[in-house]
Amino acid sequence: MTAWKRNLLAFALGCGLLVGAWQIVAWQTLPALLPAPMTVASATVALLADPAFWSGALAPSLLRMAGGLSLAIAAGIPLGIIGHRSCRVAAFLAPLRLLLMGIPAPILVILFILWTRGGTWTVILSVAALLMPVFQVAVAEGLRAVDPQIDEMARLFRVPLSKRVRHVIWPAFWTALGPALRIGVANGLRVTLLTELLSGANGLGDAVQTAQTYLQTDRLFALVLIILALVAAFDAALARLPGTGGRA
Amino acid sequence: MRLFALLLIIGLPARAEEIVLSGPPTWETAPLIALAEDQPLADRGVTFTFRPWTSPEDLRTRLMDEASLVAVAPSLTAALWEARGIDLRVWSATSAEGALWIVGRGPAVENPSDLAGRSLALPFKGNLPDLLMQRLASDAPDAFTPTYTGNYMATMQLVLAGRAEIALLPEPLASVLVAQAPDMARLADVCELWRGQTTLEACPPGGAVVSNIPADRPDLQAAYEAAFARLAAAPQQAAALLASVFPDLPDTGEGYAEMAPRALSLPENRTVLAAFYAEIFSIAPEALGGELPDAAFFDPASE
């Protein structure tokens, strides 16, 4: 048996143990408080087979998350580059960065709801504001990691800019940006859910809120499974990109 | 032997019993606080202790953990929990004219069609305020644009900030909002809109008094009803009682003064509560757990 198969077996055993313990506790508990694994499995299948779930919950949340993430990257990368090139600009931008990094996510979300009425833009702005500093810092750190001697040599030998970016700057840059992207996607989904949960905007967060309000615990667990699967899928996809620390 | 004889003469001492009372910062909770203050059954060994609940989940946990609990709960939540297999008894429901208002800027709201095109801030998506408005607007689903919030204070702030034209608020917050902003007014009593739209005579019985005590307790119910009746005769007195437990609640006895609270004891008033549930069930069956409460919910003796 290969090491990969042995790991897979260990993973399956771990899952089996967890599900077995869950089933035993579920036998002693009200289904409204802890539904059995099979009930949750049925609820998951029912959700995934429901076109309204895809169009009314999953798609809006993922699109908003993508919008917020794109905005965070679009703002964070230039700010990181500018900050790297000028200490004075970095100092000028530091208060905003510290504010966005330090403010608790629920408070920022509540403020955005107040300022933008709640809805799609509230989610996009919340995700963007909370993730922008991650990309700003990652870009600045990535550029700092570029080896100045190799970069200088490339300049001396008049290596074309495209090749210099590809072979000298990008590898160092990506070692910081890649992991930031992985963290950003997972956190982006979390912030999206939080904002939808607080603002009542339709989406996965609203579905979670509704399941909790109506004590549809099987549906709540099913939603958690779907969200975990989404995070795992995004993480696995990003881990395949070179320079993102695939095994982490 | 002498002690035994003495006990026979003066009567056996009553068994000490602690009843935990609980409720949110709403008018309906005030009679429970009054019970804890007055201890009307102390001579029978019954002690009332008030501890507020902070969320429906908190209340559910207490219902399952406390030995003897009597609490004010949202009436929809009581039916939902019953449907989900959580043991409880519903003693009564509560309704009140002048308890829930549409407040804000613009012309008065005489019927749901007057809400057309207006932005309405309301808290707790999927809960009673939202479902009441959904039912009121069920003949014209696009009657208003809702903006949901996580609590009543945030709802108030949205209107004050001009992000919503009108808001759904209970007393005393409706009074606080009107007092804070001169351009705000009470535009409609939700009870009046409800009567007009549903043809039901009673205001929406949004609150319920629930208990986890399995046996009939006419003594406790009578004590609660007496406290309720005393406060209903002068509703503004609830403000001081609530302030003693919820110091952050705006102190506006004036807001309560125009309220006309009614205790709807069960099973006598089961038709009122059942009709209310039927209205909500018609638009959101999942709010009641997908089924209307059975006869035993209103009257455990009918089992």
Mean pLDDT to the nearest integer, B244-272 = 86
**Measured between alpha carbons, how far is residue B260 from residues A34, B29, B97, B208, B231 in Å?**
41, 15, 5, 16, 10
**Domain CATH code at residue B212:** 3.40.190.10
**Quick check: B148 and A117 CB within 8 A?**
no
For residue A151, give the nearest of A137, A135, A171, A136 by alpha carbon.
Answer: A171
In a domain, A27, yes or no: no
Among the partner residues B80, B81, B163, nearest to A117 by beta-carbon distance: B163
In a domain, B89, yes or no: yes
Computed over every residue of chain A, the mean pLDDT equals 89
Q: Which residues make Cβ contacts (< 8 Å) with residue B27, sequence separation at least 6? A: B96, B99, B171, B235, B238, B242, B256, B259, B261
* pLDDT value of position B4: 52
Residues B216-235: tens digit of each pLDDT: 888 999 999 999 999 999 99
Residues B6-50: tens digit of each pLDDT: 544 454 445 688 999 999 999 999 999 999 999 999 999 999 999
User: Is A216 within 8 Å of chain B by CB?
Assistant: yes
CA distance to partner chain A, nearest, from residue B84 (Å):
6
Do B178 and B37 fall into the same domain? no
- Which of B182, B198, B214 is the last residue before a domain boundary? B198
* pLDDT value of position B2: 56
Work out the percent of chain A whose per-residue pLDDT is above 90: 58
Task: Give the phi and the psi of residue B144 in degrees, each rounded to 5.
Answer: -145, 165
Among the partner residues B119, B127, B146, nearest to A213 by beta-carbon distance: B127
Domain count within chain A: 1
Instruction: Name the strand (E) or helix (H) holding A152.
Output: helix A148-156
Residues of A in contact with B124 (CB under 8 A): 213
Domain count within chain B: 2
In a domain, B3, yes or no: no
Mean pLDDT to the nearest integer, B99-110 = 91
pLDDT band, very low/low/confident/very high, at B5 (cuts 50, 70, 90): low
* ipTM of this complex: 0.75
User: Is A215 within 8 Å of chain B by CB?
Assistant: yes
Computed over every residue of chain B, the mean pLDDT equals 88
**Quick check: A206 and B125 CB within 8 A?**
yes
Residues A40-67: tens digit of each pLDDT: 999 999 999 999 999 999 999 999 999 9
CB contacts under 8 A, B 114-153 vs A, are 119, 124-127, 146-150
B37: how many CB neighbours lie within 10 A of its CB?
14
In angstroms, the CA A131 to CA A191 distance is 9
User: Is A209 within 8 Å of chain B by CB?
Assistant: yes
Of residues B154 and A64, more confidence is placed in A64
Whether residue A3 is predicted with pLDDT greater than 90 in this model: the reply is: no
In a domain, A247, yes or no: no
Among the partner residues B80, B126, B146, nearest to A210 by beta-carbon distance: B126
B34: how many CB neighbours lie within 10 A of its CB?
23
The letter for the amino acid at A7 is: N
In a domain, B2, yes or no: no
Task: Give the phi and the psi of residue A162 in degrees, each rounded to 5.
Answer: -60, -40
Residues of A in contact with B85 (CB under 8 A): 30-32
Cis peptide before B107 (omega within 30 of 0): no
Mean pLDDT to the nearest integer, A27-33 = 88
B117: how many CB neighbours lie within 10 A of its CB?
10
Question: Could you tell me which chain B residue has the CA closest to the CA of A115?
Answer: B163
Do B281 and B207 fall into the same domain? yes
What is the torsion angle, in degrees rounded to the nearest 10, for the CA atoms of residue A121, residue A124, residue A129 and residue A132? Answer: -150
Residues B160-192: tens digit of each pLDDT: 888 889 999 998 889 888 888 888 999 999 999
Work out the percent of chain A whose per-residue pLDDT is above 70: 97
In angstroms, the CA B123 to CA B167 distance is 9
Choosing among B82, B84, B86, B283, which should be mutated to test the A contact, i.e. which has the most A CBs within 10 A?
Answer: B84
Do B218 and B288 fall into the same domain? yes
Domain hosting B128: range is: 100-198
**Domain CATH code at residue A160:** 1.10.3720.10
